[in-house]
Amino acid sequence: MGLSARLVIDRDALARNFQALRKLAGGAETGASIKADAYGLGASALAPRLAREGCRTFFVATPDEGAELRRALGGGEADIWVLNGYDPAARQLYVDQRLGAVLNQARELADFAQGPTGPCALHLDTGMNRRGLPARDAQALIAAPGVLDNLDLRIVMSHLACAEDPAHAMNAAQRTHFMALADRLRPARLSLANTGGVMLGADYHFDLVRPGIGLYGASASLDVPHPFEAVVRLEAPVLQVRAVSSGESVGYGASFTAPRDMLTATAAVGYGDGLPRALSGKGFARIGQARAPLLGRVSMDLVVLDVTDCEAELRAGAPAVFLGADLTETARLADTLPYELLTGLSARPARVYEGAL
């Protein structure tokens, strides 16, 4: 492996996760959220495989992401929607790259209507108070004759705030609010469900679901089991193995003191690669099938692991592996979410893709 970590991304697992989500979604179309460079994993390397699996609708955050995705798809007929809204300064980019604008406020509707236009979606705020047309504005829009007549309105959507918690009352409240507004905007298709919404069941699926984190092998919830396969693993070569005697310390700040004689391994990965410093003293790696606890602090380029029980795997040259099937547990230990772990991976680890494009 040389002297640096690498990020191994399994496109076959991604494809199986897409098909699992498609099955859960029943009669609704299954799209894909591929914003933030496919959650840090490489949109141009993953989107073509999703298209091969039958994905026809993609969601990005910005028009630049949309243009890059269109190129990765070789043009094609896929629908690409820009979630962050409509930027009149990028008007020609929307037109040239056939990007759909998700309109979030009255100002964007007015700008978009100036043309030349393409397809648009309308985002209704149903209680998250982040983006989307507030209820009073949506009601005024619905009541105003002719305002939407000249727009190619394809989708009416909203976003669930608490889908990771199936028992949260906010889910049903948002669905009720969404239906009360959106049904008056038919024949546009309706979309409410992210990955968590897909798992809430058919009442939340409507016409189109737009999962993100489930594609990449995790769930928004750290406590609810999910059916998704690991897509990414961070592999780090072991640079040095040493015997540490009882009473000796390890790493910056001498924050770990060996309670017994131990065998340790220094692996080439750290927060410079996106492994959070919050894992100091509580994270772990896999070496072979053995679990190797992280000792002391995560530094920029290196971590030290307890490999006392991993001698056979070390002799075989096994790397230290982070994330993978342990992505959710790692997020819990770092007091964060899988989303942040994935999007926080730096550009330093080389991306290695397994499975067909």
* pLDDT surpassing 80 at residue 145: no
Q: Are residues 144 and 35 in the same domain?
A: yes
Predicted local confidence at residue 317, as pLDDT = 86
- Confidence at residue 150, expressed as pLDDT on a 0 to 100 scale: 83
Which tens digits make up the pLDDT trace of 224-263?
A: 899 999 999 999 999 999 999 999 999 999 999 999 999 9
> What Cα–Cα distance (Å) separates residue 247 from each residue in 256, 257, 271, 293?
9, 6, 27, 18
pLDDT, average across residues 262-276: 97
Please indicate, yes or no, if residue 133 is contained in any of the structural domains: yes
Residue 326 lies in a domain: yes
146 shares a domain with 20: yes
120 burial via Cβ count (<10 Å: 0-12, 13-18, 19+): buried
Same domain, 189 and 322: no
Active site residue 35: yes
Asked whether residue 156 is assigned to any structural domain, the reply reads: yes
Residue 116 pLDDT: 80
Break the chain down into helix, strand, coil percent, rounded to 5. Answer: 35, 25, 40
pLDDT, average across residues 59-88: 97
Q: Is residue 151 part of a domain?
A: yes
**Coil, strand or helix at 192:** coil
The alpha carbon of 231 is separated from its chain's Cα centroid by a whole number of angstroms, namely 11
Residue 224 has a pLDDT of 86
- What range defines the domain where residue 303 resides? 232-354
Q: Whats the size of the chain, residue-wise?
A: 357
Select which of 35, 39, 86, 94 is catalytic: 35
pLDDT digits (tens, 9 = 90+) for 282-339: 999 999 989 999 999 999 999 999 999 888 888 878 999 999 999 999 999 999 999 9
* Residue at a domain's end among 192, 216, 240: 216
Q: Given this model, what pLDDT does residue 314 score?
A: 86
Residue 3, domain member (yes or no): no
Based on the domain organization, do 21 and 149 belong to the same domain?
yes
Domain end marker among 153, 181, 216: 216
CB 191 within 8 A of CB 209: yes
pLDDT of 100 strictly over 80? yes
CATH number reported for the structural domain that contains residue 115 in this entry: 3.20.20.10
157 and 258 fall within a common domain: no
Number of domains in the chain: 2
Give the residue from 162, 184, 216 where a domain finishes. 216
Q: Is residue 149 very low, low, confident or very high in pLDDT (cuts 50, 70, 90)?
A: confident
Q: Is the pLDDT of residue 1 over 80?
A: no
Q: Looking at the structure, do residues 270 and 173 belong to the same domain, yes or no?
A: no
Is 217's pLDDT higher than 80?
yes
- Whether residue 23 lies in the annotated active site: no
